[in-house]
Structure 1
């Protein structure tokens, strides 16, 4: 090979994570290697072609359902390489195969390859692809020059004896990607749509095929069918044919489902149109009646996957028995690919809380647990993929309050007990799913108290211990999330502190991963709430405070920055300790608390002002210079002058002013800024507490002046 670029798998189907790809930048050949084998050997030869149709959308969000384009710097320029269909397009009732994603290291390029095996050499395979494409272009030019498309338009009448044959020819012609727009330009769509009103099943079948193929990856085709009203007629046919189980009707239903799939694929507007036509209940009914017909069932699943991303669709799905039908279908499946198709429908649907509960009641959880049990010890790629999908979906079901509580069953439920067993597992995927599940169960005080009383904290700390050194970041994040939620009830805080949770969490202070930092900070803040001794102990920990001050400047990570400020404030507010204040002053934390007082979040402003008031009351001399340098007095004047400031902000600002005038330099600043004028206006404030504090502050300032 000449110059090459190395790729690694980020999401694979039928490939392991230990598979790499090598792209030859000159020939555009891709060779895949399994690096977990000795010696390193190639597994499948894949090829890509430098030529290809324009791709309208690409990127991670759409990676599963359309063509992807590789944008790569080749020989100083930007080359577009069409990668072929990744999934879910339909022609002639056939769903295209799944592919997988490769990501070049150090690049934002997303590369999608179709699963195409070549028995011939790379050069031969590439030539065949190029030859086919060139042949399609040449054929397209000849057909267009012949004028036959215009002749077809005149033959598409219900009275003509050759109508079905003409529609069949158009369907075959439209398999050529270069012929779809010419079919639209020749005016074939309106007469084809009119044929949808006839009674002849063969005409309907071939017309549906023709329209479906013209719509395949063609915006012009879809728009033309939309303007001609074709979708509405097809939806009506689906309703009327839905209950018919004879082979001819089922074949027609399959074609019509495929046509609607191609019509609306990757087009939110057209998908919404179909939803408003009421296609979802019809498709669900189809799935139930024709569950023995593999082709029609698969087409329904593809259609569901296409529609389920829209929020409006989930509301309609919730009024059907989709959960029951999908679970029933899932239980029958043996093949990995079929299960994968159902999973792709379940995942977006399970984002809806009503459907979550329906899926739980339909028995999906038992199916998922069975998959986990069967695949947990397997090293097969399909099994590993199923394990991840099943455990992820399990966690998703727990995001709904009702579904979560139903599965918790007072902490005695078999599902809850099974999830607990995942935490000590040797599988990182199960450790992650188990910790996330506990975090989701820990969404109300009753559940949290029960879990802490029954030893879940020790299991989570043991899990964290396994991931301190070069551990799995997602597992760290999940375990810390669970501990944070468990620490919210007041009665749990002392128990968790006694169990050593604070010490376990502090081991991750070295982490450079913002998600871990964020959860670490939140967990500590929850633990010390109203726990003076723990707050003082942590507040005197110089390494912790210095790390907090460092993270207070993490402007690229607003969550980490905000939590660091809040924990600094909490250490002071809950400890009320001079030693803690001195540690924070010496570490340079005062300026961050002053900045926090200007936050857009009232709760953070208030926490900062209370902490600053305690500093002024307990260690004003120590903090005096830092408060002056941070321009606290000017900030307080601005907060009191601003009509938008919340009553509690005005109140605590005045309390702080009264404390600050105990410092000579700060008192001079207060006097120089005409605070009396601002505060006198607040005596008539609608909030009585603010008005009373304004009177007291005015008196205090008058005396000091």
Structure 2
């Protein structure tokens, strides 16, 4: 019997935006006496005299532009665009020029504006900028990295251009070569290069970080900020980064390719190594976390992460954090990584669970918004870790584990979030018979029923769903069924029969179906419950909710199959359930077809007269003819169809239908069926049909 794994929504981090950007002193001195006239003159000179002007005059013009950008970035950028100077910059981006760093700086500044990024691409600035990544000058590399990063920000064209120019390869090589260096200059470059890669790989359709690489003291010029999952203000060595949320799902496929490209370059082991070496550098650490957040969604990245010590590094980093937003940033990386079973186990072994339990203990009684969010994230992540078989079993520890005991204490909590997480955790612990038997023997059923009682009237739907999920899984072992029925689980579950919430309906039905499996007395008792049967018949028509519709059909069938009771059959006939069982026989799922046919055979054997009109109206005979004629029908379907045909012959109107449809010819062919049981039943059915004809 399969057990459903039960998961909550992925842990969500805060939606708090930074009030400002922290920064460090890293400013150009500017030009005394700057004015609008100076800017206009500088633009004219740059456009007309770049080839003839001296280095000093060029630098003066560039300094004037930088000063103007510092004063009013948007307005100055508009003037630069209108002047046509962008095209001139391409010729100035040479390693030999003393002005190169300032030109790259200007490009980085104008590219902080969304409307300037495509013009930068159109002006053919990307190829010379990418070539500058090969130079040795620290300042040139720094400003070039900023320029490329800002052009890539929220720009499909920018990313494409960098991709075609091979910029990502060079930047990854730089990160790899600088990775072990801890001097301030190297760390500054590493931070900018990581930022550039993040903008290059960031997917607009997801709520990750995107950075505008700014000069200190200034906010990025960009679209209106929206709330995002991760709070982020990164302290760079002179380069401040702010976050906005992009839009436009059109880029997702391309960006998946770019992310895959980075993964194939081997950037993940390098970044994990970077995190370990530079864990004291707040800016660089956060950049690594953003990188992991951007890449961790891809399945191929999880496989690479699993071969690194990412779990150990993240847990080590997490333990050092005091601020809520820093913890949430790590949570945002842990959530997608923890979807991988190997990494789940690594995180458990690295001590993440103890960190999560500590957070729960500290925040459970708090009414602060940050603490409530942190409690949810920690408990949700705990449930996610239990989705892995190995990690779950390690934490269960034969039912004696401290983690398991702590989770049990969540169920009677007054916090809906902990009630939910506790019930989901029990559902996930209940994924093998040994665990289920131990938990039932140790009183977990009563805890879950008490929890359900607290949510009967206007209760929390997610808690109802989680508790029912746990009870369903616990009811799978044969030895647990009678114990749970004696404890009153069926009655507790029936209290939710009025629920109009499909998730609750679905789990309610599954729980009852598990409970009555091979439990004749319970099946009969429930099968004679008119309110239950009428509700099942109603849900059998819930075409908008396939899961509820399927489970309702299966429970109707199970009530008949396990009770073998005439009273149950009469209740189902009177409630209009026959047509649904006949329809179920045409299901695309063999197991459902078979369950329906067995139930219909019992109806025909025990109460044919009562049901014959409904069977006739539902066109059962025609359906059986189709099932037997179809070469794709499974052997058990053919076998049970023939058994049912033999039973239906006891009804005069149904017998006439059978005779009118030339069943003898179809059944005769099945005597040579490769399945011996089918072939034998075909011979018996042929004889019976011949006698009755």
TM-score by length of 2: 0.82
Task: Output one character per residue of 1:590-634: Cα deviation in whole Å (capped at 9) or x when no partner.
Answer: 000000000000000000000000000000000010000000000
CA contact (8 A) 2:133 2:144 kept: yes
What stretches of structure 1 move > 4 A for 4+ residues in a row?
Answer: 15-20, 33-37, 72-75, 130-138
Listed one character per residue, the Cα deviations across residues 616-668 of structure 1 (whole Å, up to 9, x for unaligned) are 00000000100000000000000000000000000000000000000000000
Instruction: Please give the alpha-carbon distance, in whole angstroms, between the structure 1 residues aligned to 2:307 and 2:81.
Output: 48
Map 1:552-701 onto structure 2 (within 5 A).
552-701=540-689
Larger deviation, residues 141-150 vs 331-340: 141-150
Map of 2:322 onto structure 1:
334
Higher strand share: 1
Asked if the contact 2:603/2:611 (under 8 Å) is kept, the reply is yes
Distance of 1:590 and 1:135 partners within structure 2: 77
Deviation, 1:182, is: 1.1
Report which structure shows greater RCO (CA 8 Å, sep ≥6). Answer: 2
| 2:462 aligned residue | 474
CA distance 1:218–1:669, change in 2 (3 Å)? same
Cα deviation per residue 1:311-353 (whole Å; 9 max; x = unaligned)?
Answer: 1111111111100000000000000110110000000100000
1:145 to partner: Cα distance: 3.0
Once the two structures are TM-superposed, the CA of residue 135 in structure 1 deviates from its matched residue by: 7.5
Change (3 A) 1:616 1:18: closer
Report the Cα offset of residue 176 of structure 1: 2.1
Match of 1:203 in 2: 140
8 Å Cα contact 1:18-1:35 kept in structure 2? no
Distance 2:181 2:328 in 1: 28
Secondary structure in 2 matching 1:379: coil
- Offset at residue 219 of structure 1 (A): 1.1
Local SS of the residue matching 1:36 = helix
Cα drift, residue 19 of structure 1: 34
Counterpart Cα distance in 1 of 2:660 and 2:100: 93
Deviation for aligned residue 1:548: 0.4
* Aligned-residue offset at 1:141: 3.7
Distance 2:4 2:72 in 1: 38
Change beyond 3 A, Cα 1:433–1:289: same
Any conservation in 1 of the 2:168–2:262 contact (CA below 8 Å)? yes
Query: Are the aligned partners of 2:69 and 2:77 in contact in 1 as well (CA < 8 Å)?
Result: no
Q: How does 1:169-188 map to 2 (within 5 A)?
A: 169-188=106-125
Tell me the CA shift for residue 16 of structure 1.
39
- Per-residue Cα deviation, 1:492-550 (whole angstroms, up to 9, x for no partner): 00000000000000000000000000000000000000000000000000110000000
Residue 139 of structure 1 and its aligned partner are, at CA, apart by: 3.5
Measure how far apart 1:132 and its partner are.
Answer: 12
C-alpha displacement of 1:133: 15
Q: Which structure is higher in helix share? A: 2
CA displacement, residues 256-278 of structure 1 (integer Å, 9 cap, x when unaligned): 00000011110711111111111
Given that residues 167 and 203 in structure 1 are in contact (C-alpha distance below 8 angstroms), is that contact kept between their aligned partners in structure 2? yes
Kept in 2, the 8 Å contact 1:136–1:178? The answer is: no
Contact 1:481 1:519 (8 Å CA) reproduced:
yes
Query: Any unmatched runs of 5+ in structure 1?
Result: 1-14, 21-32, 38-71, 79-129
Query: Please, which runs of 5 or more residues in structure 2 have no aligned partner?
Result: 7-33, 39-55, 62-66, 205-255
Distance in 2 (CA, whole Å) between partners of 1:223 and 1:613 is 65
Give the stretch that moved more between structures: 172-181 or 364-373. Answer: 172-181
Q: Cα gap change, 1:439/1:191 in structure 2, threshold over 3 Å: closer, same or farther?
A: same
RMSD: 7.9
TM-superposed CA distance for 1:149, in Å, is 1.6
8 Å contact kept, 1:535–1:571: yes
Distance in 1 separating the partners of 2:534 and 2:71: 66
Contact kept? 1:137, 1:178, Cα under 8 Å: no
CA contact 1:212–1:259 (8 Å) conserved in 2: yes
Whole-angstrom distance in 1 between the partners of 2:686 and 2:189: 85
Larger radius of gyration: 2
Q: TM-score, normalised by structure 1?
A: 0.81
